[in-house]
């Protein structure tokens, strides 16, 4: 988001891109000392530039020159062969020049296995190297003289001396001494306020946020950092603050804004902290919130500021600190980190938001290993058994840094057996510390949103968004806006295909909340999600009206006996999902309040007493259900929207449906389905109809008038020879798949499918030609007709030969 503040300021360009520039002779130290120093600096949150991959020519590159000019501290690692490299000497000359031009720039030499006097006076190897350069540069002695002067000046500066013959332990301590000095130097000069201890995977994320901040622009920018609890928002904010803060007139980093804003006194303390930071340590007394907001505006409105508000969970907290955010001087930057996206969208149109994603597999392994193995990393990591267990934990954490750090720290120094026990425990009951942090987002939700979250965590994760919304709304949970709230709080995500998903640890957190309703007595909980607890409830009479849903999934096929009255006392049951579990006798009763019945491989008929008047989704693929019998039982199915009876061998006919609200009907793989009742052809709510691989299907309705149908698949219906006539009004159909069907011809009325975009006719071996009216389908852009041996197609008919045709031929046509 780009705000234009009222106060003016001169244009501002960033001064530093890097904290440290490292100049070194690669063949001397890159494989050892310099690499160790680089890693130690990174680990301490110091941002170094190191030239590892840039091509080396006769002159140093523009990129290296720019890096030197944009680095706050310049470190030269003088080693035995440093002066032999013209590249190194050019770097050195540029470094000394930058230091002389700007006293704010710090220069530190490190004398690695070399005496400082040899560098300062060009003796020993340094003297020999310079003598050779004088031979090679007889026509450019000024260059060599500049190198000599730069060596003398740099070597006369206070730095560090690592003497020959020192031990590896001494080298490690030597590097730590340098890093500690650098860290304290940054802090004392107001350059750094935070140390990012484990900056794993941080570089690319920092670069993305730097791009959003676009510091060179002379305008006000507010950037949001949004993501799940524990994903690293605060770490990123600190890293960005370290890079840019010292280049602004005034700076402030306010941590834990959510927690501190719980009371009026807490808000006032935050305001006083901000004022203390921007007045350079002078305490300003604030009597009330309104006064504090006004003081902050008055103090900062003419200054270019860099502010970070960390862990904000509502826009009121921003307003208490920054008012309406319309008073900043040009060039100011504000970063807000939050779990709730709505905080950011209230700050203006088209907000600039960086979505923090989890670590990838390699990054996750690195972060976990740093905490789990520490100094034992080398020994334990080579142990194959530890590596396999580490892999399990990395998969379980699914890229969440918080979980990797906590579990790694908990397992540090533990035996293999302790690791195995811990992993089993984590999978059953989440770590309390992880749970506590993730639960904060849940606790910020309203009652309805909490119920929806728990339903998704227990029963609906991984399903289509539209499907979930319809089921939840049938439970009197107005879910569209509530689901968006869950998305805004990073509790769920919805991908580009409309699939709803939840991080594994967030789902486990939700299920643990349910378990804690009654840890020892499953029947007193609102939802039953584990195999063991489901068996306890369903094989006895120990259910209750409290139970809202049951998820019964067995890893292996299992046959059980349900108690005849198990469901009788569960009148509030809304969700029943059973997978890989077979019952040895039919059911006598199912609650009439069910909204979702999902039971593949069901071996019996539904109870005659079942009244599914509230049912929204009925999924019973691979079952022995006879559909005509189900629908002839007089069931009231007015709310049913989804039916899935794929691969049901007992279905021979699709009878008349008393399902006026049906949106999706799937009968794919029903090998014995022969005919479809004519009334289905005029169903006006059906959107998707799947009859894939119904090999015996011969009869469809004579005509189709299905105004809502968007996707219709008859792929593999090899005995279906005639496609129905199409009535006007079927503009919604976008995809029609007839591949591998027995269709002999398409009706001329296909012209009424004015919204058709994709027509699939591959392997239609009986199809001879296409009706000329097909060229009226102006939205058709893919016609697939490969392996249609008898088919002849005119790819490009004359443009003016068919009515008002505005396009010639097809955009994509496959014929083989």
What was the pLDDT predicted at 801?
Answer: 38
Does 216 participate in catalysis according to the annotation? no
pTM: 0.73
Classify residue 165 by burial, with Cβ atoms within 10 Å: 0-12, 13-18, 19+. exposed
Q: C-alpha 800: how far from its chain's center?
A: 50
- Summarize the chain as % helix, strand, coil (round to 5): 40, 15, 45
**Residue 20, number of CB atoms within 10 A of its CB:** 22
| Helix 264-278 and helix 315-322, axial crossing angle in degrees, nearest 10 | 50
Give 432-495 as a DSSP string.
HHHHHHHHHHHHTS-HHHHHHHHHIIIIITTSBHHHHHHHHHHTT--HHHHHHHHHHTTS-EE-
Question: What stretch of H or E contains 424?
Answer: helix 416-428
Note the CATH number of domain 674-816. Answer: 3.80.10.10
List Cα–Cα distances, 665 to 608, 612, 617, 646, 713, in angstroms. Answer: 23, 17, 10, 9, 11
Domain boundaries, the chain: 8-188, 202-355, 361-428, 434-514, 674-816
Each residue's pLDDT tens digit, 123-175: 999 999 999 999 988 888 999 999 999 999 999 998 999 987 767 668 888 99
Pairing of strands 549-560, 711-713: unpaired
What was the pLDDT predicted at 95?
Answer: 95
Three-state SS sequence of 42-57: HHCCCCEECCCCCCCC
CATH class of 8-188: alpha beta
Task: Evaluate whether the domain defined by 202-355 bears CATH number 3.40.50.300.
Answer: yes
Residue 154 near residue 94, CB atoms below 8 Å: no
**Two domains, one topology: 8-188 and 202-355:** yes
What was the pLDDT predicted at 333?
Answer: 92
Copy the structure tokens of residue 408: 């790694």
End-to-end alpha-carbon separation of the chain, Å?
52
Copy the structure tokens of residue 161: 């001396």
Residue 644 near residue 619, CB atoms below 8 Å: yes
For residue 237, the number of C-alpha atoms closer than 13 Å in the C-beta half-sphere is 30
Pairing of strands 527-528, 333-338: unpaired
Catalytic one among 69, 91, 118, 250?
A: 91
What was the pLDDT predicted at 16?
Answer: 66
Residue 720 near residue 713, CB atoms below 8 Å: no
Region for residue 611 given its phi and psi (left: phi exceeds 0; alpha: psi -120 to 50; beta: otherwise): beta
Residue 311, SS3?
A: strand
What was the pLDDT predicted at 104?
Answer: 76
Low-confidence spans in the chain with pLDDT less than 70: 1-17, 43-45, 52-59, 166, 168-169, 184-197, 246, 280-282, 349, 375-382, 632-635, 794-816
How big is the CA angle at 648 (ends 688 and 730), to the nearest 5 degrees? 20
Q: C-alpha 307: how far from its chain's center?
A: 26
Residue 737 near residue 712, CB atoms below 8 Å: yes
What was the pLDDT predicted at 802?
Answer: 38
In 125-284, beta strands by DSSP E: 160-162, 220-226, 250-254
What was the pLDDT predicted at 188?
Answer: 46
Task: Evaluate whether the domain defined by 434-514 bears CATH number 1.10.10.
Answer: yes
């Amino acid at each position: 988001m780009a705000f234009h503040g009222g106060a003016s300021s001169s244009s501002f360009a960033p001064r530093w891109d890097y904290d440290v520039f490292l100049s070194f002779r690669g063949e001397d130290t890159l494989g050892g000392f310099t690499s160790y120093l680089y890693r130690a600096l990174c680990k301490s949150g110091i941002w170094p530039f190191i030239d590892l991959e840039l091509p080396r020519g006769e002159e140093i590159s523009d990129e290296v020159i720019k890096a030197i000019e944009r680095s706050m501290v310049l470190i030269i690692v003088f080693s035995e062969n440093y002066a032999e490299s013209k590249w190194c000497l050019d770097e050195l000359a540029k470094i000394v020049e930058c230091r002389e031009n700007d006293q704010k720039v710090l220069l530190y030499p490190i004398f690695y296995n070399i005496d400082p006097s040899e560098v300062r006076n060009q003796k020993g190897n340094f003297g020999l190297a310079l003598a050779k350069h004088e031979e090679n540069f007889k026509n450019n002695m000024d260059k060599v003289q500049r190198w000599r002067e730069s060596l003398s000046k740099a070597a006369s500066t206070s730095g560090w001396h690592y003497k020959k013959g020192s031990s590896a332990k001494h080298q490690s301590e030597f590097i730590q001494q340098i890093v500690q000095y650098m860290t304290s130097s940054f802090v004392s000069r107001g350059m750094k306020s935070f140390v990012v201890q484990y900056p794993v995977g941080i570089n690319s994320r920092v670069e993305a946020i730097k791009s959003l901040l676009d510091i060179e622009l002379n305008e006000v920018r507010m950037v949001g950092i949004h993501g799940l609890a524990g994903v690293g928002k605060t770490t990123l904010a600190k890293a960005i603050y370290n890079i840019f803060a010292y280049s602004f007139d005034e700076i402030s980093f306010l941590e834990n804004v959510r927690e501190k804003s719980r009371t009026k006194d807490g808000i006032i303390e935050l305001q006083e902290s901000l004022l203390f930071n921007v007045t350079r340590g002078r305490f300003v007394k604030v009597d009330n919130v309104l006064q504090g907001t006004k003081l902050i505006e008055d103090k900062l409105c003419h200054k270019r500021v860099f502010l970070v508000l960390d862990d904000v969970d509502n826009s009121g907290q921003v307003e208490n600190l920054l008012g309406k955010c319309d008073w900043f001087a040009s060039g100011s930057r504000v970063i807000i980190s939050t779990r709730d996206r709505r905080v950011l969208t209230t700050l203006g149109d088209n907000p600039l938001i960086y979505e923090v994603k989890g670590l990838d597999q390699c990054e996750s392994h690195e972060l976990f290993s740093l905490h789990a193995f520490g100094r034992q990393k080398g020994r334990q990591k080579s142990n194959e058994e530890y590596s396999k267990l580490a892999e399990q934990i990395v998969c379980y954490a699914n890229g969440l840094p918080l979980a990797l750090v906590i579990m790694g720290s908990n397992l540090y120094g533990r035996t293999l057996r302790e690791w195995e026990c811990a992993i089993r425990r984590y999978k059953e009951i989440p770590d309390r510390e992880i749970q506590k942090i993730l639960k904060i987002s849940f606790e910020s939700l309203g009652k309805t949103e909490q119920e929806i979250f728990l339903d998704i965590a227990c029963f609906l994760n991984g399903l289509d968004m539209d499907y979930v919304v319809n089921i939840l709304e049938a439970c009197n949970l107005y879910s569209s806006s509530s689901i968006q709230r869950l998305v805004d709080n990073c509790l769920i995500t919805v991908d580009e295909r409309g699939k709803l998903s939840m991080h594994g640890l967030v789902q486990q957190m939700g299920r643990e909340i349910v378990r804690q309703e009654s840890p020892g007595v499953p029947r007193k909980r609102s939802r039953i999600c584990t195999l063991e607890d489901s068996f306890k409830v369903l094989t006895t009479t120990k259910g209750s009206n409290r139970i809202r849903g049951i998820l019964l999934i067995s890893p292996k096929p299992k046959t059980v006996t349900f108690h005849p009255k198990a469901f009788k006392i569960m009148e509030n049951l809304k969700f029943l999902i059973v997978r890989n579990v077979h019952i040895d006798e039919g059911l006598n009763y199912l609650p009439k309040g069910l909204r979702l019945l999902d039971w593949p491989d069901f071996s019996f008929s539904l109870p005659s007493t079942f009244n599914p008047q509230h049912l929204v989704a009925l999924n019973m693929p691979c079952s022995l259900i006879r559909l005509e019998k189900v629908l002839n039982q007089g069931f009231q199915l007015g709310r049913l929207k989804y039916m899935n009876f794929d691969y049901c061998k007992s279905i021979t006919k699709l009878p008349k449906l008393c399902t006026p609200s049906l949106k999706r009907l799937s009968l794919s793989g029903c090998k014995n389905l022969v005919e479809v009742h004519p009334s289905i052809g005029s169903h006006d709510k059906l959107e998707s109809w799947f009859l894939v691989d119904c090999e015996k299907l011969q009869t469809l309705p004579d005509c189709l008038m299905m105004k809502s149908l968007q996707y219709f698949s008859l792929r593999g219906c090899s005995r279906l020879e005639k496609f129905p006539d199409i009535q006007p009004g079927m503009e919604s159909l976008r995809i029609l798949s007839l591949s591998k069907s027995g269709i002999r011809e398409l009706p001329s009325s296909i012209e009424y499918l004015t919204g058709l975009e994709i027509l699939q006719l591959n392997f239609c071996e009986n199809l001879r030609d296409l009706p000329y009216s097909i060229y009226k389908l102006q939205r058709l852009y893919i016609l697939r007709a490969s392996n249609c041996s008898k088919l002849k197609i005119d790819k490009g008919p004359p443009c003016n030969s068919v009515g008002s045709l505005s396009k010639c031929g097809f955009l994509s046509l496959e014929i083989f």
